[in-house]
Amino acid sequence: MAWKCPQCGFVHDEAALRCEACGFTRAGKLVLVAEETSRRLSVGVDTAIGKHLLRTFAGGDHVYAAEPQFLLARDLVAGGWSIAPAPGAMNPTFLNGAALAGAPAPLAEGAVISIGPTRLRLRVESEP
C-alpha cells in the first residue's frame, strides 16, 4: 500500500521511510504493551507519559510514576522513536534494565521500559 507525504503530497511505496521529494521521515506508530494487563497504548505523536495515562492501561504499578515520567518522541532523522526521562521524576525510568541518562535513547522493537528495575514493565512494539 502506498503512503502520501503529509508535507508535500508525494506518493511513495509502503517500504519507503523518507520522502524522496522533501525529506520528510515517517516514524510509524509506537505501541506500549503493559506486562501486567496486556493492554496496549498506541502513540503516533510525541507524547509525555505519566501517572494519569499509565493508569488507563498499565495496571497498579502506575502509582510509581510521576507526571510526566518519560517522554516519547519521533526520531525524524533515523525514522523511529526515542525515549527520554522527564525532568523531576522521582523514580528513574529504565530501558532494558539500564537507567536512562539525560539524552534521548532510541527505542527498538521488543525493548522494555520500566520504572525502577522491576515496576510497571512496558514492552515496545511498532506499527507502520
Three cell numbers at 118? 522491576
Angstrom distance (rounded) from CA 73 to CA 80: 9
**Burial of 59 from C-beta contacts in 10 A (0-12 / 13-18 / 19+):** middle
Confidence of residue 117 (pLDDT cuts 50, 70, 90): confident
Q: pLDDT at position 3, please? A: 83
Which residue ranges make up each domain of the chain? 27-127
Q: How many CB atoms lie within 10 A of CB 34?
A: 20
Q: Which CATH class is domain 27-127?
A: mainly beta
Q: Which helix (H) or strand (E) holds 81?
A: strand 81-85
Spatial CB neighbours of 98, under 8 Å, sequence gap ≥ 6:
none
pLDDT above 90 covers a percentage of the chain that reads: 64
pLDDT digits over 13-55, tens only?
887 877 888 877 777 789 999 999 999 999 988 999 999 999 9
Residue 73 has pLDDT above 90, yes or no: yes
Q: pLDDT at position 80, please? A: 83
